Amino acid sequence: MAKYRLGVDVGGTHTDLVLADTETNEILIEKVHSTPSNPSLGVLDGIQRFFIRGVSATDIDFFSHGTTVTTNALLEMKGATIGMLITKGFRAIQVVQSQARESNQFDLKFQRPTMLASQQMTSEITGRVDYAGTEVEPLNEEDVRIAARALQAKGATSFAVCYMFSFMNQAHEQRTGEIIREEVPGAYVSLSSEVLPRIREWPRMSTTMLNAYLEPGLARYADDLDNGLNIAGVETARRFLMQSNGGVMPLGATAGGGRTVQTLLSGPAAGVQATGYVLGEKQGWAQVVTMDMGGTSCDIAFIQDSKPLEVTEGMIAERRLDVPAFDISTISAGGGTIARLTAANFMSVGPDSAGADPGPVCYGNGGDRPTVTDADLICGFLNPGHLLGGETTLDRDGALAAVKNTLADAMGLSAEEAAAGIVRLINARMADEIRVQAAKKVIDLASFTLVPFGGAGPVHAAMVADELSIPRILVPPNPGAFSALGLLCSDIVHDYIRSDICEINQLPSDRAEGYFTELEKQAATDLTDEGLADHDREFIRDLDLRYAGQGYEIRTPLDGLSASPMTAEGLAQVQERFHELHQTLHGHSARDQEIEVVSYRVRVRVPVPKQDLPEISIPEGTTEPVGEREVTFDGKEVHTAPVYTRDTLKSSTIEGPAIIEQFDSTTVLPPGWTAKLDKFGNIVGERNA
């Protein structure tokens, strides 16, 4: 009896599903329209399509899911009403924040985003522990009870608790959580000592508020999805949700424990994980920049030495979020991104999107504003009758009329010229973002390969590569569902942190070992609670280090050192590694300066069987086109481009201009480009010198 592993990625426009047969390694793909009002409905619709194709629900023994539920709730400000409990005398923290402008410092109209918990929804609580975790004033439990009842009366359904130095002593926060649950049964409670037990008040408070703001919505969604899977007959208990760090966690772990914020890059992380594992570790594409372009946005990330780059601090929707995550940059550049005229009669593209409903004009669902997809269709890149294998037809005449009436006539251009302008603008936006991120990371793009995925990525990839002088693109076999594939390439991963500042030369090795052991015990307890007690696991240790007096740290891995159990020799070795990392990242080191340990980190990884793309046998011979189509890249010069279907490609080289169509995406090859299949079935396109 066949057993299947199912990966589902919910995007802004489409929901992608990948079903892998564990016996034959065969992969089945489904792509359905997303259902923004209740994303679980789109997921369940896609699963039903597999059942129609003969798959039995009871044969699905693994389910992994990437979602934008939390991301969209934050972007649209549709989270819970939250109440904030803070240490008496510190209510100004969320107003002052870090005193820095997190966006463009030259923006004269800069305003901070709306506070997630207003001053009216914030209560000060008497009680204090000091920097060493010693209680200097007991917690006033009556303050907590009064605050909980008052905030509930104002509409709070979720509570964030962030007390001074709770990362050194969590007793006050833990007791506060117990009292809130007594006074407000059923309330969601986020404790900073669970969400982010590390130094720096504003990042800890911001991250905790984000967790409280988003947790109820994610918990409801996870519950809806869990129930829907049960009703559909999917019996497996192995149900997982993608996290921002490239690992997954059990679906049931979303409620409580402060893990909701770990999912804010759930969707984009899956594609990056697939690139790092499948293309990097397994196929040898070690230096890659990814371009995940879907219907709403484009996510950009870098893979170096087959490993996705990570960050531990960052911003999302202009809000501070300090959790481990893949280093992903997201911009508003998708197939549904809307084009319009500015007041000065110039063309502008984005940032808003037509999304899944109503979608681009050419979808015929009521959209009336031209989008990138409409422009792609007018330029000839898309087949009006081919989208989703012919399941969706595109209205080219409608797209032409929208571009003409909205843009072209006012600018004195033809509809084709205006459409080509939309394409050039969106390509320039993606190229600029890649260029900026590469410069920040000191990356030479000439040595990298651009890997596009998402439904729209392969359409624009070669044109973006031209802008950046990147010599090569690589389009994986199922680019439209590549992120969903990444969900079948991810281990279970949890991250833990504990801050305690100490000069490393004054740090007893048993004290350091004690912190690591404490975090590893917490990880083991969580795995037991998740039903994973009997599974193999790997503990990975890191230290956040800095030169004394610095205001930032560098995450320094301990792997390969004498670090478990921690010894004086291991501490000496990690100092040398820190010097080397500082030199690499900042161009200098200070070996005569004292080094401080700021935080201890533990990552637990539970291995999960992973999907691979095996080598294939490519038929010898010349690929014959199935037709031809007129395309234009500038709106003036028209090329007759042969059209190929991907599943009939042979060993021969294809010359651009050319179009390669498949169920979930279309690859556009401009003039001056060639392409052929490699042994794994990837389309490798190369720019002529």
What is the secondary structure of 421-452 as a DSSP string? HHHHHHHHHHHHHHHHHHHHTT--GGG-EEEE
Rounded to 10 degrees, the C-alpha dihedral 289/293/299/302 comes to -10
Q: Can you give the pLDDT at residue 98? A: 80
Tell me the three state secondary structure of residue 458.
helix
Find the range with the poorest average confidence among 219-233, 248-262, 669-683: 248-262
Q: What are phi and psi of 195, to 5 degrees?
A: -70, -50
Q: Which of 524, 527, 505, 513 is nearest to 600 (CA)?
A: 513
Amino acid, res. 315? M
Contact residues for 330 (Cβ-Cβ < 8 A; gap 6+):
268, 297, 298, 299, 300
Distance CA 665, CA 484 (A): 14
177 has a pLDDT exceeding 60: yes
- Name the residue with higher pLDDT: 442 or 99: 442
Q: What are phi and psi of 372, to 5 degrees?
A: -60, -40
* pLDDT tens digit sequence for 315-340: 887 889 999 999 999 888 888 899 99
Containing 248, the helix (H) or strand (E) segment is strand 248-250
Which residue has 């079948």 as its token pair? Answer: 488
* pLDDT tens digit sequence for 267-283: 889 999 999 999 999 99
Contact residues for 206 (Cβ-Cβ < 8 A; gap 6+):
94, 97, 319, 320, 321, 322
* pLDDT tens digit sequence for 391-443: 668 899 999 999 999 999 999 999 999 999 999 999 999 999 999 999 988 89
pTM of this prediction?
0.89
Cis before 351 (ω within 30):
yes
| Tokens linked to 267 | 């969707």
DSSP track, 601-645: EEEEEE-----------PPPSPPPPSEEEEEESSSSSEEEEEEEE
Distance CA 316, CA 266 (A): 13
Strand partners, 660: 644, 667
